[in-house]
Structure 1
Amino acid sequence: MLAADQRPPLYQLVSAARPGISREALGEEVARLKALVVEVLGPLATGVLLDPLHGGLALDRLPRQAGLLLTLEDHRFRETPEGFRLSRPIPRWGVGSAARVGADGVKLLIWYRPDAPEEVRRHQLDLVRRVGQACNRWGQAFILEVLPYPLPGEDKPPALWEEMLRDFADPGLGVDLYKLPYVPGMPSRFSQVLPAPWVLLSGGRDARSFLLALEEALASGARGFLAGRAFWLEALSAYPDWASVREGLEASRSVMKQAVELLAALSPEEVA
């Protein structure tokens, strides 16, 4: 599956290429980039993940065979004074909204640290549970993305994945599919502990390192991928040269084809 719901990385890309661009024009350019990504790479995907803020143009390019996934989370999360993150939905948007516009499923990103204060962890888990309940009511597939994050002064988040798995392995959360990063030594644990299948995200990896991570993840029980930047970020770096962006995306089809071939090589029992 192809992820094209990213917002801050594209805001930064467009703003760097066009200093002083207005907020309205910024949104329009991000929407055009997403539409081009879906036009060129979408035909290789079984599903495409978009956001409701800038994904409208891309909907017109959505291949007939691809399922539509829509993201729920606002990229502007809240923070406590200590730097712990509190996720929230996009304002005036939710599972019902996604269902009414024809989505097949929704994705929620949860920033999470198991060492956060109890009220922060409870806020995050309660949000997941509410989304799971809403997906059950609306008949939507629920894809949960869980990512750790560093606090101010930290170079990277601590390796607390075992504790994170403990908190998110509750079947009562209603998760149908987990979207997770490559973590050395953890792919097999994801497959053993989680109550639903999981797929690999690219997490900003370049094409080569993503394909290596995907190969290991699939061998360890992952059921596929839901990735974006490994396929399209290098091509989009040519913006605002639209001809070069398209040329780069056409070239990156070979990377996505390799990812699809890795998945196709699995036996039917491994992906059932």
Structure 2
Amino acid sequence: MIPLGKLRGLKRLCDADGHFAMVALDQRPPLQAAIAKAKGVAASEVTFADMLLAKRLMVKALAADASSMLFDPNFAIPAAYDQLPAKTGLIVTLEEHRFEETATGRKSRSIDNWSVEKIRRMGADAVKVLAWYRPDASPDVVAHQQAYVRTVGAECRRHDIPYVLELLVYPFPGAANHTTDYVEMADKRSELVIDSVREFAKPEYGVDLLKLETPVPGASLPDEMDSAEGKAAAEAFAAVGGICREAGVPWVMLSGGVKPEQFERVLRYSYAAGARGFLAGRTIWLDAIQSAFPNEEKVLAALRGDGLSRLRSMAKLTREVAEPWDFTLDRAPFGREGDLAALYA
């Protein structure tokens, strides 16, 4: 089958030049924590209305400058589906943020009553799944995660919609830095990230775009890429880039909530290795929510100030440094009228 839907969907996610400058708004516990901090309440006291308001304000302030946005179905879509500009692509989350935590690793699942078919039917341009993954988890956990990612890939092929896969390494229960949210590990091992990418870049998973964390802790990346430390870090990024290049799978960077200046360093290293852009969230909008919510005017002012400035700075760097993504349709199979209709199964 010629994947016309996947190719068109990927073009919808990037800008006119083929760069991915995408904003993630599918966060659930991290946004609840930010709202709770701003209001001085427990996370359990954050209401559904609070979540909708925060996401609606972020779309209102940032959507026009994003090549696409990542929404979740439980909050972002009810909050701002009608606020997303026609020119801005839409990625929709499939996975439930409440994963199963076992002693030997995490198991992912989809949101109840949600599916690839529904995401395609509602008009989204791509499906996104976050898979918590460690190659050194127990065999049953590794098998579960691989099977879940593979099953979603088959559904995305069936519905001819792009599959965006986010991979995150995590600490095991009992580790000193254990948390159920994503907080980048200061002692992160590059090989865990690299080996995860190597696994899921395989064609059997059907992934069309990888959303990846830095293989080296973002906070410790040196400014100078030609220093000894910089060269060592660049080698880790190059390993990721080499795997993706060989597999023919484009990749973008997630921000993981690091400081803007740290994320720009991450982008420079990743672009040197072949990344095509970013899909960032908290680095862009977290400060605005924590400092001003629920005051709508102040939140919008902060988002349109520092938030928009950060997004534009990242997008500018991407246009200047990153290699754009594009595709050319192979016309060889089409020799006469009716061939495309017959071949598009």
Q: Which residue is 1:74 aligned to?
A: 96
Name which of structure 1's ranges 175-184 and 10-19 shifts more when overlaid on structure 2.
10-19
What value does the CA root-mean-square deviation take over the aligned residues? Answer: 1.8
Task: Give the deviation of 1:241 after TM superposition.
Answer: 2.4
- Alpha carbons of 1:180 and 1:21: their partners in 2 closer, same or farther (altered >3 Å)? closer
- Alpha carbons of 1:60 and 1:115: their partners in 2 closer, same or farther (altered >3 Å)? same
Alpha-carbon separation, structure 1, partners of 2:215 and 2:43 = 37
Larger radius of gyration: 2
Between the two proteins, the alignment pairs up a number of residues equal to 269
Q: Kindly indicate whether residue 298 of structure 2 is the aligned counterpart of residue 244 of structure 1.
A: yes
Among 151, 176, 179, the alignment partner of 2:208 is 176
Task: Give the deviation of 1:20 after TM superposition.
Answer: 6.6
Are the aligned partners of 2:95 and 2:109 in contact in 1 as well (CA < 8 Å)?
Answer: yes
- Alpha carbons of 1:83 and 1:35: their partners in 2 closer, same or farther (altered >3 Å)? farther
Task: Give the deviation of 1:158 after TM superposition.
Answer: 4.9
Are the aligned partners of 1:165 and 1:193 in contact in 2 as well (CA < 8 Å)?
Answer: yes
Structure 1 residues 138-177: aligned runs within 5 Å: 138-154=159-175, 155=177, 156=185, 158-159=188-189, 160-177=192-209
Give 5+ residue unaligned stretches, structure 1.
Answer: none
| TM norm structure 1 | 0.93
Are the aligned partners of 1:150 and 1:158 in contact in 2 as well (CA < 8 Å)?
Answer: no
Helix, strand or coil at the partner of 2:75 = coil
Structure 1 residues 125-136: aligned runs within 5 Å: 125-136=146-157
Q: Kindly indicate whether residue 274 of structure 2 is the aligned counterpart of residue 221 of structure 1.
A: yes
Alpha-carbon separation, structure 2, partners of 1:240 and 1:32 = 8
Alpha-carbon separation, structure 1, partners of 2:324 and 2:242 = 14
Q: Which runs of 4+ in 1 moved over 4 A?
A: 20-23
Among 186, 192, 202, the alignment partner of 2:242 is 192
Task: Give the deviation of 1:26 after TM superposition.
Answer: 1.1
Q: Which residue is 2:315 aligned to?
A: 260
- Alpha carbons of 1:99 and 1:270: their partners in 2 closer, same or farther (altered >3 Å)? closer
Q: Kindly indicate whether residue 131 of structure 2 is the aligned counterpart of residue 99 of structure 1.
A: no
Larger relative contact order (C-alpha < 8 A, sep ≥ 6)?
Answer: 2
Q: Which residue is 1:39 aligned to?
A: 60
- Alpha carbons of 1:125 and 1:22: their partners in 2 closer, same or farther (altered >3 Å)? closer
